[in-house]
Every structure is written in C-alpha cells, then in structure tokens.
C-alpha cells in the first residue's frame, strides 16, 4: 500500500510503501501518516491489506488489534478499524470510509461557511487540511471554502510545536489555495488576538467526549483560553467519527506522550542541554465551556453540547 510521508513535506514529496501490520503501525506512530481522519482511512486500508496477506485468523486479529491502538488519542482510528473488521469485504469498506470522508469534509466546509464573516481574520492551529483527512479537510476545509466563496479570509497560522504541522502543512495548503496566510509561533496567538483584530479561531479535533470536551493538538487548550479572554469565538470542526460514543468527559481521554527528542532536538540538532527532562503530551483537552460551536457534517452544534452530540451520534 503506497502512502505519502507527511514528515518531509513541503520540502520533499516522498512516497512510501506499507507491506505489513508493522509498517502500518510504524507509519502512524512516526506521524508519516497523521491527522485523525487520515489515520482512520489509512488504518482501514491497512487492516484490509493485512487480511489479504495474513491467512492465520489469530495472527490477523492480533495484527488488527495493534493497528487499532497505534496512537491512543484520535478515536477515528479505532472507529475505522472496527468498521472494517465488522464487514464482509474489508477493502470495499475501506474504500467506503475514504469516500464518506470526502463527502463529510465537503459538508463540514459548507456548514462552516456561515461562521466566517467577510474578510475574517482567523487563527488556526496544527494542520486540518486535505492531507490530514483524505478529503478536503475539516477546519482548513472551511477556510478554503470561505476563500472560494469570495470572503478573502486572512489566516494566522500557529507553527504548532513540536513537529511544525502548521508551518509545513497548513502553510502549504493555504498557499496552494491562494489564501492570505501569516505564519506565527504558537506563543504569538495572544498578541495576535490583542493587536490583529482576530474574528475567530477554528481548529480540528482528535476526540470529542459526549459532553463536548475536546482533545486536539497540544496548544489548543491555551488557544481556547486566550480566545475566551478576548471574547473571540472558538470553533471546532470535526466529523462524526471524531465524536466518541462512549467517553463521557475529557478527563477520560487518553493523551499520547511522545518522545523527548521531539522537544530537545530540532531536525537532529540538539536544542537543549543533554540531560533535559521533557513534558511532551501530543494533545490537550479543551473543556466544553470554551467551545463556541462544533462544525460537523450534520450542521453547526451549539450548546448545550451533550444534547446536540447525542443527536449527531443517534442519527449516524
Ligand atoms: O499529531 P497529529 O499531527 O496527528 O495531530 C493532528 C491534530 O491535532 C489535528 O488537529 C486533528 O487530528 C484533526 S485533523 C483534521
């Protein structure tokens, strides 16, 4: 199975191949394939691939279970793997998940348009574009749709530490779409809100609990607090597959802790003294009271979120 290695973009377009369950797990863990919906689509194809090559049922079940937990926070991963495992034709189901994601992204973009004023100044965090979903993206899809609708947004792009998903990938996709975009360090978001007349923040999600608490890339929580302080709307764009039907609240969401070297080194060069200890959660949880609305393929959800989320999960 061929896939695009997101780690080398935009400097090098590198196509890799996954042949085994280990390859699939490795691609997900190393962030060669990343972004919650994209992880789901990739894992779905990965499980279908492994089924064709591993004929022993017990070995296959074990391999699928390993893929299912390759990363702990994005619920799309387990959701997609479970869907494929429950189907008679795994490859057809993987194709269906991919096709649905394209439709879901288009619907999110359409619904999100109503939240973007003419000439809006927007902050976004991490990367939520087509490369992160397999379609046209979630939060970034809304922004690009606003550009296509002639709203001429200006986007302040958080570089997103520690892997620079914003600097590398969000900037790449916004530039390709002709959207005016300024790259900023994550720590500049407060200054942008204070001095740059920011109208709204829009981000993606890795997992939304039943009550609306939302896990997303580390730094999202701080951004939501800043937005609340400045009375700026804070929107989360996410497909139904990012809503966890089981977990009631954000405190139950497993947060991935990643390698210290992502923080102590920059592209192989040391960036901190050798014995530096590190706190490196990949995600944080934004409590629901800081979220103004969710943009889903079913429409815009406003508080009270538990009821609105129940409804979205019920009709799926
Ligand atoms: O660690 P990553 O790069 O996979 O984290 C990605 C994010 O936090 C995204 O905001 C989220 O997955 C939504 S992608 C549409």
How does pLDDT run along the chain (316 residues), one tens digit per residue? 999 999 999 999 999 999 999 999 999 999 999 999 999 999 999 999 999 999 999 999 999 999 999 999 999 999 999 999 999 999 999 999 999 999 999 999 999 999 999 999 999 999 999 999 999 999 999 999 999 999 999 999 999 999 999 999 999 999 999 999 999 999 999 999 999 999 999 999 999 999 999 999 999 999 999 999 999 999 999 999 999 999 999 999 999 999 999 999 988 899 999 999 999 999 999 999 999 999 999 999 999 999 999 999 997 6
Cβ partners under 8 Å of residue 310, min gap 6: 210
CATH 3.60.15.10 fits 2-102, yes or no: no
- Kindly report the protein residue whose alpha carbon is nearest to atom 15 of ligand 1: 128
List the domain boundaries for the chain: 2-102, 104-314
The predicted structure's pLDDT at residue 267: 81
Query: Which of 165, 207, 214 gets mutated to test ligand 1 (max ligand atoms within 8 A of its CB)?
Result: 165
Rounded (5°) CA angle 160-177-166: 5
By CB atoms closer than 10 A (0-12, 13-18, 19+), residue 262 is middle
- CATH tag, 104-314: 3.40.50.10470
Atom in ligand 1 nearest the alpha carbon of residue 140: 15
Between the CA of 85 and the centroid of ligand 1 the distance, in Å, is 24
How much distance in Å is there from the Cα of 197 to the middle of ligand 1?
26
Q: Which numbered atom of ligand 1 lies nearest the CA of 137?
A: 15
CA 162 to ligand 1 center in whole angstroms = 13
Hey, is 200 helix, strand or coil? strand
Confirm whether pTM is higher than 0.95: yes
Nearest CA to ligand 1 atom 10: 204
With a Cβ cut-off of 6 Å, ligand 1 is lined by: 31, 34-37, 74, 126, 128, 132-133, 138, 165, 204-206, 216-217, 282
Specify the pLDDT at position 33.
Answer: 98
pLDDT the model gives residue 266: 87
Q: How far apart are CA 155 and CA 172, in angstroms?
A: 13
Residue 137, beta-bridge partner list: 129
Ligand 1 atom closest to 283 (CA) = 8
Which residues have a catalytic role annotated? 206
For residue 117, report the distance from its CA to the centre of ligand 1, in Å: 25
Structure tokens at 77: 């991963």
Ligand 1 atom showing the smallest separation from residue 36 Cα: 12
Residue 232, both tokens:
């700026």
């Amino acid at each position: 199975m061929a896939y695009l290695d997101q780690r080398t973009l935009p400097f090098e377009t590198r196509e890799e191949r996954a042949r085994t369950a280990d390859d699939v797990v490795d691609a997900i863990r190393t962030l060669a394939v990343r972004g919650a919906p994209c992880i789901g689509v990739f894992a779905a194809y990965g499980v279908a691939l492994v089924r064709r090559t591993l004929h022993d049922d017990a070995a296959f079940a074990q391999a699928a279970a390993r893929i299912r937990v390759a990363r702990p926070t994005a619920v799309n991963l387990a959701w997609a793997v479970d869907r494929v495992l429950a189907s008679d034709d795994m490859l057809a189901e993987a194709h269906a998940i991919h096709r649905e994601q394209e439709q879901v992204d288009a619907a999110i973009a359409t619904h999100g348009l109503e939240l973007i004023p003419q000439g809006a100044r927007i902050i976004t965090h991490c990367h939520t574009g087509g490369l992160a979903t397999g379609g046209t993206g979630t939060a970034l899809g809304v922004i690009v749709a606003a550009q296509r609708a002639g709203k001429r947004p200006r986007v302040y792009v958080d570089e997103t530490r520690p892997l620079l998903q914003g600097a590398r990938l969000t900037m790449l996709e916004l530039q390709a779409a002709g959207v005016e975009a300024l790259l900023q360090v994550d720590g500049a978001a407060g200054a942008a809100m204070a001095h740059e007349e920011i109208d709204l923040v829009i981000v993606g999600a890795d997992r939304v609990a039943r009550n609306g608490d939302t896990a997303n890339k580390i730094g999202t929580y701080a951004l939501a607090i800043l937005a609340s302080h400045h009375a700026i709307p804070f929107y989360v764009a996410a497909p139904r597959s990012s809503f966890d039907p089981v977990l009631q609240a954000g405190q139950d969401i497993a947060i991935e802790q990643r390698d210290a070297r992502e923080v102590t080194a920059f592209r192989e060069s040391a960036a901190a003294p050798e014995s530096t200890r590190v706190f490196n959660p990949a995600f944080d949880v934004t409590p629901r009271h800081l979220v103004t609305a969710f943009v889903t393929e079913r429409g815009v959800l406003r508080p009270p979120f538990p009821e609105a989320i129940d409804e979205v999960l019920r009709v799926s």
